[in-house]
Amino acid sequence: MAWIFTIGGFAFFYWMARRARDRAAEYATTGMARSPIYWSAATLTMTLLGISLYMAHLQNQGPIPWLYWPLVVVLLIVILLLRRALKWRYPV
């Protein structure tokens, strides 16, 4: 029974990788993949993910310091603004 879920999981990951490759090829043809706005948004998104996971880890050990919450809010607002700028600059 577990092998069915394993095969299904690998099939899902293959499907997602194939879609990501197609999307990356589409971005490359429009020039969006080389845009500094694109790389800034991607970097800030990974930073937000890292901070969120670190906050989840800190919560297991005690209270989360208050400084992290405004940082998360600011990062979220900046990422949304960068996404809007990308949609404005590279309409699909």
Q: Is the pTM of this model over 0.75?
A: no
Q: What's the pLDDT score for residue 92? A: 64
Residue 33 CB-density burial (10 A; 0-12 exposed, 13-18 middle, 19+ buried): middle
Helix (H) and strand (E) counts in the chain: 3, 0
Q: Which residues of the chain have pLDDT under 50?
A: none
